[in-house]
A and B are shown apart, each in its own frame.
Chain A
């Protein structure tokens, strides 16, 4: 067991945390056994659940806190942060 690890991120995507960003995060987390939570103020979402993530209603510019715990928690946190930094590879993949 390692963590919990914590990091702040800002939503860069113009459309906010919509279906595709949320599904990318969930997909990543579901491949691990980590416990990952994303906080927006006092609201919390289990990162495995797309619907939970969507319900954060994180629009562009929103500050979020990602918290991970469990085996490989540090690495998964880094990968999620990278997704945010790369704006979820939505455009770069083209």
Chain B
């Protein structure tokens, strides 16, 4: 048994066989086998060679019949090549002497030959290296077996282990067959992490190097509550987690009964409970749990999906899908909020050149400096707004000037649409995220110029406390319970109320049951949360009365440390919902 610690990004427990997924077609984990397993691994090599020969024999027959013997002969040659005694003995030696895995040994030997051919300086031989690469792929396909099969071919549920998953790979995971996943790379706010939450399957990221300890097929446990990956669990551990998974299922079933209940406090205060989404498909998670709307529709995925800028039509279709599924309930679309931590590939390099990307060109700043990109998105939003209650929200606004610039561009876009005779909605509400301390401090001024606020607690905490929570050495300083953060939220709520503007909390903080009573006590009446948390938060709301929430808020205002606040809130939550003991 082996336990690896990572960052939990999506709760739940998953138990099942491991399935290793590579980034490239046939990525080999550079790994070794145990000395006791060498004999077994050699047999695996022999079996793979035999299978490859059989497969090549079939190809030879087919090619000879259909194309002529000289084509069949190519496969016959491959068949002879893979049985080449010299080559096989080189591979076997690597397995025997160095304890390389058959996958690694095969690749190493074949790659050597491929390189040699390429270096011979003869066109014909250089082309032969492609034959070798082809053989290498055939061998790996058989050696890695089911583990390297296409995810779409999965027939039984597995737990995915990978170095990293691209956003589109993650998005394509089929919940029927993928029970959970663990990646070596990635942080809490990485795109993969956000997607895991969206899929609602247990997931851990940022475990560090561990694939060398797994060959695939072995039993593993993913503890998405605590970020533990357990490889080859012993009997007792397996039993414990099976029980824990059962409790999780039962809890889910119990919470399903909350779908049709209204989030209203015991003393009759109606709280607006909305969902945060990233993909159009997630709307379903919101609707089935009775969300009052989509309080935060993140649009970054549209930019990350194809690795190129989305067209207006791509934006438009995505927005239409969401707003139509919500059937009249509000959908708050946040414009591009790409930060350095979320941008893959080429853009990442540009942004990371800046010594301090979190304080650099991101989010609304990026949009204002790339007006064509920004206008494309605004056009699509305004057009889709014809179909329902769409609202626009600008992220990371830090000065009034930025807000005014963004609004001006919005007016420009409206004018363009009008000139072109394209239908759009003119009176779309325009709001902003309050997530930079400067915006919170000047909340009153901002409130006069927007239709609504949405407090993004993740960034607000990061910028207020000057803490990168992805950095383990300071992550303990990151807390939604910090008195400074709470004071800022309170000021924003008061400023918004003075100007009669609604204010929502859409950060991670509002998805945590223990903070909800405090937020309500601070005067918040709208929250937007991870869809999976909606039933639990409904339960909290329905067991709470506003008077108690107000008491909680005034007690917290007298506390001067994040730890005291968090402990106190945990205790109060326990009083409100005794069901929430320790696990949440």
Seen from chain A, the residues whose Cβ lies within 8 Å of a Cβ on chain B are: 15-16, 18-20, 22-23, 26-27, 30, 46, 48-52, 54-55, 57, 59, 90-91, 93-94
A-B contact pairs, 5 of them (CB 8 A): A19-B128, A20-B77, A49-B85, A54-B128, A59-B122
Question: What number of B residues sit within 8 Å (CB to CB) of A?
Answer: 25
Which residues of B are found within 8 Å of A22, using beta-carbon distances?
A: 77, 80
Contacting residues, chain A, for B77 (C-beta < 8 A) = 19-20, 22-23, 50
Assess the B87–A23 pair: CB atoms within 8 A.
no
B125 touches A51 (CB 8 A): no
If A15-B124, A51-B87 touch, whether A94 touches B68 (CB-CB below 8 Å) is yes
B interface residues (Cβ-Cβ under 8 A, vs A) = 68-70, 73-74, 76-81, 83-87, 113, 116-117, 120, 122, 124-125, 128, 131
B87, A90: Cβ atoms under 8 Å? no
Task: Check A94–B69 contact: CB distance below 8 A.
Answer: yes
Extra contacts, 11 of them, besides A26-B80, A94-B70 (Cβ < 8 A), are: A19-B78, A19-B128, A23-B77, A48-B84, A49-B85, A50-B77, A50-B80, A55-B116, A57-B120, A91-B70, A94-B68
Least CB separation from A48: chain B residue? B85
With CB as the reference atom, state the residue of chain A lying closest to B131.
A19
Q: A23-B81, A90-B73 are in contact. Are A18 and B128 (CB under 8 A)?
A: yes
Residues of A within 8 A of B125 (CB): 54, 57
Contacts of B76 in A (CB 8 A): 20, 23, 27
A77–B122 Cα distance when bound, in Å, is 29
Closest chain B residue, CB of each to CB of A16: B124
Q: How far is the CB of B307 from chain A (nearest CB, A)?
A: 37
Contacts of B117 in A (CB 8 A): 54
Shortest distance in angstroms between B157's beta carbon and chain A's nearest beta carbon? 43
Q: How far is the CA of A15 from the CA of B78 in the complex (A)?
A: 17
Contact of A49 among B79, B87, B131 (CB under 8 A): B87
For A46, the chain B residues whose CB sits under 8 A away are 86
Which residues on the B side are within 8 Å of A20 (C-beta)? 70, 73-74, 76-77
Which residues of A have CB within 8 Å of B86? 46, 48-49, 51-52
A27 to B122, CA, bound (A): 25
Contact B81 A50 (CB under 8 A): yes
A16 to B122, CA, bound (A): 11
- Nearest-CB distance from A14 to chain B (Å)? 10
Chain A residue numbers with a CB within 8 Å of B124 are 15-16, 18
What 6 A-B pairs are tightest by C-beta distance, nearest first? A23-B80, A23-B77, A49-B86, A19-B77, A93-B69, A20-B77
Cα distance A84–B68 in the bound complex, in angstroms: 21
Cβ contact of A93, chosen from B70, B84, B87, B122, cutoff 8 A:
B70
In angstroms, how far is the closest chain A Cβ from the Cβ of B147? 29
Chain A residues positioned under 8 Å from B81 (CB to CB): 19, 23, 50-51
Q: Could you tell me the distance between the alpha carbons of A10 and B393 in the complex, rounded to whole angstroms? A: 79
Could you tell me if A51 and B70 are in contact, using CB atoms closer than 8 angstroms?
no
Residues of A close to B69: CB separation below 8 A: 93-94
Across-interface contacts of A90 in B (CB, < 8 A): 70, 73
Q: Which residues of A contact B83 (CB under 8 A)?
A: 30
| Alpha-carbon gap, A85 to B80, bound state (A) | 21
What residues of B have a CB within 8 angstroms of the CB of A59 in the complex?
Answer: 122
Nearest Cβ on chain B to A29's Cβ, whole angstroms: 10
B483 to chain A, nearest CB (A): 72
What CA separation (Å) do A22 and B69 show in the bound complex? Answer: 16
